Chains A and B, each alone.
Chain A
Amino acid sequence: MADQKTITVKIKRQDGPEASTRWEEFAVPYRPNMNIISVLMKIRENPVTTSGKQTTPVAWDMNCLEEVCGACSMVINGRPRQSCSALVDQLQQPLTIEPMSTFPIIRDLQVDRSRMFDSLKKVKAWVPIDGTYDLGEGPRLPERKREWAYELSKCMTCGVCLESCPNVNSGSSFMGPAPLSQVRLFNTHPTGAMVKDERLNAIMGDGGLANCGNSQNCVQACPKGIPLTTSIASLNRAATVQMFKNFFGSDHMVD
């Protein structure tokens, strides 16, 4: 293989949260079916730029490499997505890779997404069970309802929808589409629905539903195809109904 094909990749680097940014360019031997993760792996085996400068291996987050853990989100050729499922053959070259800009940078392509997990606390994204002791079977659920609820339950908190949303940024309190959609999921479950008023009240205030500008970027960007805008529309209706219930008093809180 004398005429080994190479691919050129430009990566935005940053040594730490306060450090300045720089672009570095690398050339990596091409292999069919290669993804962005294998490109980054090749670089760390020999961290030298195209101008021949020895540099540090690129820092990035990854884990499952099959698009279920949500770790490896980054902005590839201008689009936020999972780097494991971004195949080089389907991308225009030279490749550009940047960290997601909505979240605080840790190093290079690593970002801090802890605000998403904090939002899950705020909206009580869980089914309240009495305990782990044996209480017999769970509630019955129609299979067709289960099928759409399952789609919502695939959210891996990857942050791609927040990155693509023009209303989520450091100057805004908007929690973004992912945690909102979880409210719809848990309000669907028969036991989860027993505290649906608490979840709806949590997203009626600042940082919740009202901050959505309906740009619809999120539903385009979601790697799991979760119907995020449908969730938000459905929650808008539920929140309006809840507002009336709140007005009419405690008899109507949860039914």
Chain B
Amino acid sequence: MAKSKLLVVGGGLAGLMTTMKAAEMGTEVELFSLVPVKRSHSVCAQGGMNGAVNTKGEGDSPWIHFDDTVYGGDFLANQPPVKAMCEAAPGIIHLLDRMGVMFNRTPEGLLDFRRFGGTMHHRTAFAGATTGQQLLYALDEQVRKWEVEGLVTKYEGWEFLGLVIDEQGVCKGIKAQDLSTHEIRAFRGDAVVMATGGPGIIFGKSTNSMINTGSAASIVYQQGAKYANGEMIQIHPTAIPGDDKLRLMSESARGEGGRIWTYKDGKPWYFLEEKYPAYGNLVPRDVATREIFDVCINQKLGVNGENVVYLDLSHKDPHELDIKLGGIIEIYQKFVGDDPHKVPMKIFPAVHYSMGGLYVDYDQHTTIPGCFAAGECDYSQHGGNRLGANSLLSAIYGGTVAGPNAVNYIKGLDKHVEDLPSKIYDEAVREEQAKWDDVISMDKGNENAYLLHKELGEIMTNNVTVVRYNKQLQDTLGKLAEFKERWNNINVNDTAKWSNQGVQFTRQLRNMIALANVITKGALLRDESRGAHYKPEFPERDDENFLKTTIAEFTPSFEPTITYEEVDCSMIKPRKRDYTGGAH
């Protein structure tokens, strides 16, 4: 019998952790990534990773972390996996520390922790303000060791084109393409783990990296996997507006004492501290975003009449700022030119994270047998709103669950992929080759893919982010149907058969349009306000009708079929979410 093999798609924290876990169990892994894995988007995470290690004498515990997370997510997450994640968190922090992550320390040489939004506890371990980079590098290094030992093979610079699914509907591998040579291959795999990150680029400009198109997850959804809570998109309150990207200014700035303000009647107005005396500037992201949006858009009180407010660190000790927040201070200095040690930063909300994603069970198994998902591309941990510093945790935790469960699934198979006939793989390659040939020969039309993408981004940002109205959501669906047609009229401007980025982007754009439909339709049908999803026409949370997971299924028209599933609230009874009082 041939050796079993696991395919992992995506080399960020979730994919690398999955890979390590599987390799450690003796399973061969092939790892696919658009970019050298060290350049994955996890690198952009700044502020830190949560875990109730309780080293500050505050009586913190995994249960309180669990309660903060469920409450912060407005009760939309199934509770058992959230509880398991919060219980695993302290161990994950220690593991990464053992791998050599240069976490900030206390004078005693122990891990230091800081505060983040939606909690009263110091629970966030951090490495300056580049924690994601440091965690990613640690896992990258460990996987490199497995590469040297021969158990892991990396395919960097390859794009995922789809799952190979057999006649029984079971996943038996993937189709992928080398981005330089354009070679298309089918890879045999007894199981596949999708760890392909979020879809921020659907909104044009966001805090996300350029590879975060959601294309890979969209393909799996188009192949029949269910997609859950797509409408739950987190808008981060504090980013620097920019031409090419909206650069994140970490929540840790507020965790370390940063204050949000603008002028009102000629005097500084600390509007978050005034309205939320207990949490102050550390209310969860959806709450802070709505307040900033209201101050700028409705009250027209942005600084100098522009859509920005101040994020102020200038009262803090400059040396301490460098040690704890150096990474983001450098970004602000380099990209804006002002010095946050001396002047307040100008910020505005930006699309940041998708709470929704591929539907998975408690084993991280998608609805396609043999295909698992972990990290931002799965929906499981954050409900209607993610707490800051929980994403690094959920990405790594997802990998620790998906890896071993995929290996156990493989152990239960009676036949291994190496013993299967080559027919389905040959057909898969033929099918993808034909699709590619079609796109690369799109040289007659008059649409530019990048301009069409810009339009998509503007419409999605205007209508499907902070404040949502049914009329505009309905119009957006109409626009998306038009985009789907206009896509056929793209001129790729380049028919080169070598490293053709325009054709690759054109292909991704179609998948972005498919996923934009999921986000918009889910938002249209959810007639309530919960977490990041806010409708002024339905300002209250409606547990009776919508304490439910939204489930989207693909149809060829691109407008998904939506159904709902009950949420498992068996551990913490849903209660009103309100941060204006003290601890919840």
Contact B98 A64 (CB under 8 A): no
Contact A125 B102 (CB under 8 A): no
Contact B180 A140 (CB under 8 A): no
Q: Which residues of B contact A120 (CB under 8 A)?
A: 141, 144
Contact B38 A33 (CB under 8 A): no
**In this assembly, does B457 line the interface, its C-beta being within 8 Å of a C-beta of chain A?**
no
Query: Which residue of A56, A59, A125 contacts B493 across the interface (Cβ within 8 Å)?
Result: A56
Knowing A38-B243, A117-B36 touch, does A67 contact B100 (C-beta < 8 A)? Answer: no
Query: Which residue of B127, B144, B244 contacts A150 across the interface (Cβ within 8 Å)?
Result: B127
Knowing A127-B99, A186-B100 touch, does A66 contact B35 (C-beta < 8 A)? Answer: no
**In this assembly, does B357 line the interface, its C-beta being within 8 Å of a C-beta of chain A?**
no
Contact A71 B39 (CB under 8 A): yes
Q: Which residues of B contact A63 (CB under 8 A)?
A: 35, 39, 41, 209-211
Q: Which residues of B contact A157 (CB under 8 A)?
A: 36, 38
In the complex, A139→B99 CA distance in Å?
A: 10
Q: Which residues of A contact B257 (CB under 8 A)?
A: none
Q: Which residues of A contact B451 (CB under 8 A)?
A: 45
**In this assembly, does A134 line the interface, its C-beta being within 8 Å of a C-beta of chain B?**
yes
> Which of A141-149, A198-206, A229-237, A242-250 is found at the contact surface with chain B?
A141-149
Chain B stretch 518-572: residues in CB contact (< 8 A) with chain A: none
Knowing A66-B245, A143-B107, A156-B38 touch, does A15 contact B498 (C-beta < 8 A)? Answer: yes
Q: Which residues of B contact A186 (CB under 8 A)?
A: 100
Q: Which residues of A contact B127 (CB under 8 A)?
A: 150, 153
Minimal beta-carbon separation of B532 from chain A (angstroms)? 23
Q: Which residues of A contact B493 (CB under 8 A)?
A: 47, 54, 56-57
**In this assembly, does B307 line the interface, its C-beta being within 8 Å of a C-beta of chain A?**
no
Cβ proximity bits B99-113 to A, threshold 8 Å, 1 near / 0 not? 110111111111000
Contact B44 A68 (CB under 8 A): yes
In the complex, A189→B97 CA distance in Å?
A: 11
**In this assembly, does A251 line the interface, its C-beta being within 8 Å of a C-beta of chain B?**
no
**In this assembly, does A69 line the interface, its C-beta being within 8 Å of a C-beta of chain B?**
yes
Which A-chain residue is minimally distant from B133 (CB atoms)?
A68
Q: Among the interface residues B24, B39, B109, B330, which one has the most CB atoms of the partner chain A within 10 A?
A: B39
Which B-chain residue is minimally distant from A82 (CB atoms)?
B334
In the complex, A44→B490 CA distance in Å?
A: 13
Which A-chain residue is minimally distant from B498 (CB atoms)?
A16
Contact A57 B501 (CB under 8 A): yes
Cβ proximity bits A41-55 to B, threshold 8 Å, 1 near / 0 not? 100111100000010
Chain A stretch 156-175: residues in CB contact (< 8 A) with chain B: 156-157
Knowing A68-B130, A132-B20 touch, does A127 contact B41 (C-beta < 8 A)? Answer: no
Which B-chain residue is minimally distant from A149 (CB atoms)?
B102
In the complex, A153→B244 CA distance in Å?
A: 27
In the complex, A168→B144 CA distance in Å?
A: 23
**In this assembly, does B502 line the interface, its C-beta being within 8 Å of a C-beta of chain A?**
yes
Knowing A107-B499, A121-B148, A134-B95 touch, does A127 contact B141 (C-beta < 8 A)? Answer: yes
Contact B501 A138 (CB under 8 A): no
In the complex, A147→B112 CA distance in Å?
A: 13
Contact A132 B211 (CB under 8 A): no
In the complex, A146→B220 CA distance in Å?
A: 43
Contact B133 A128 (CB under 8 A): no
Which A-chain residue is minimally distant from B21 (CB atoms)?
A132
Knowing A44-B502, A71-B39 touch, does A138 contact B335 (C-beta < 8 A)? Answer: no
Q: Which residues of B contact A85 (CB under 8 A)?
A: 334-335
Contact A33 B94 (CB under 8 A): no
**In this assembly, does B128 line the interface, its C-beta being within 8 Å of a C-beta of chain A?**
yes
Contact A16 B499 (CB under 8 A): yes
Minimal beta-carbon separation of A134 from chain B (angstroms)? 5
In the complex, A64→B335 CA distance in Å?
A: 13
**In this assembly, does A221 line the interface, its C-beta being within 8 Å of a C-beta of chain B?**
no
In the complex, A183→B243 CA distance in Å?
A: 38
In the complex, A201→B144 CA distance in Å?
A: 19
Which A-chain residue is minimally distant from B248 (CB atoms)?
A66
Which B-chain residue is minimally distant from A70 (CB atoms)?
B39
Which A-chain residue is minimally distant from B146 (CB atoms)?
A126
Q: Among the interface residues B94, B147, B493, which one has the most CB atoms of the partner chain A within 10 A?
A: B493
The interface residues of chain A, by DSSP majority, are classed as loop
In the complex, A138→B91 CA distance in Å?
A: 10
Minimal beta-carbon separation of B179 from chain A (angstroms)? 9
Minimal beta-carbon separation of B481 from chain A (angstroms)? 24
Taking residues whose C-beta sits less than 8 angstroms from the other chain, chain A's interface range is 35 or more
Which B-chain residue is minimally distant from A225 (CB atoms)?
B330
Which B-chain residue is minimally distant from A224 (CB atoms)?
B330
Contact B335 A146 (CB under 8 A): no
In the complex, A47→B98 CA distance in Å?
A: 50
Query: Which residue of B41, B108, B248, B496 contacts A56 across the interface (Cβ within 8 Å)?
Result: B496
Q: Which residues of A contact B209 (CB under 8 A)?
A: 63-65, 69
Minimal beta-carbon separation of B456 from chain A (angstroms)? 14
Contact B110 A33 (CB under 8 A): no
Contact A45 B38 (CB under 8 A): no
Chain B stretch 1-55: residues in CB contact (< 8 A) with chain A: 20-21, 24, 35-36, 38-41, 43-44
Cβ proximity bits B220-238 to A, threshold 8 Å, 1 near / 0 not? 0000000000000000000
In the complex, A207→B134 CA distance in Å?
A: 27
In the complex, A146→B101 CA distance in Å?
A: 10
**In this assembly, does B494 line the interface, its C-beta being within 8 Å of a C-beta of chain A?**
yes
Q: Which residues of A contact B501 (CB under 8 A)?
A: 57, 59
Minimal beta-carbon separation of B140 from chain A (angstroms)? 9
Minimal beta-carbon separation of B26 from chain A (angstroms)? 12
Chain B stretch 68-115: residues in CB contact (< 8 A) with chain A: 91, 94-95, 97-100, 102-110
**In this assembly, does A2 line the interface, its C-beta being within 8 Å of a C-beta of chain B?**
no
In the complex, A141→B501 CA distance in Å?
A: 45
In the complex, A114→B109 CA distance in Å?
A: 36
Q: Which residues of B contact A110 (CB under 8 A)?
A: 499
Q: Which residues of B contact A213 (CB under 8 A)?
A: none
Which A-chain residue is minimally distant from B35 (CB atoms)?
A63
**In this assembly, does A31 line the interface, its C-beta being within 8 Å of a C-beta of chain B?**
yes
**In this assembly, does A135 line the interface, its C-beta being within 8 Å of a C-beta of chain B?**
yes
Q: Among the interface residues A33, A142, A149, which one has the most CB atoms of the partner chain B within 10 A?
A: A33
Q: Which residues of B contact A68 (CB under 8 A)?
A: 43-44, 130, 133, 327
Minimal beta-carbon separation of B81 from chain A (angstroms)? 19
**In this assembly, does A27 line the interface, its C-beta being within 8 Å of a C-beta of chain B?**
no
Contact A106 B180 (CB under 8 A): yes
Contact B244 A65 (CB under 8 A): yes
Chain B stretch 117-137: residues in CB contact (< 8 A) with chain A: 127-128, 130, 133-134, 137
- B binding-site residues for A, Cβ under 8 Å: 20-21, 24, 35-36, 38-41, 43-44, 91, 94-95, 97-100, 102-110, 127-128, 130, 133-134, 137-138, 141-142, 144-145, 147-148, 180, 209-211, 242-245, 247-248, 323, 327, 330-331, 334-337, 400, 448, 450-451, 454, 493-494, 496, 498-502
Identify the 9 closest CB pairs spanning chains A and B, nearest first.
A138-B97, A140-B109, A126-B141, A127-B100, A56-B494, A107-B499, A150-B102, A143-B105, A69-B39
Can you show 14 pairs from A to B with CB atoms below 8 A apart?
A31-B243, A57-B494, A59-B499, A59-B500, A59-B501, A63-B210, A65-B209, A66-B335, A67-B330, A121-B144, A125-B141, A138-B98, A143-B104, A191-B98
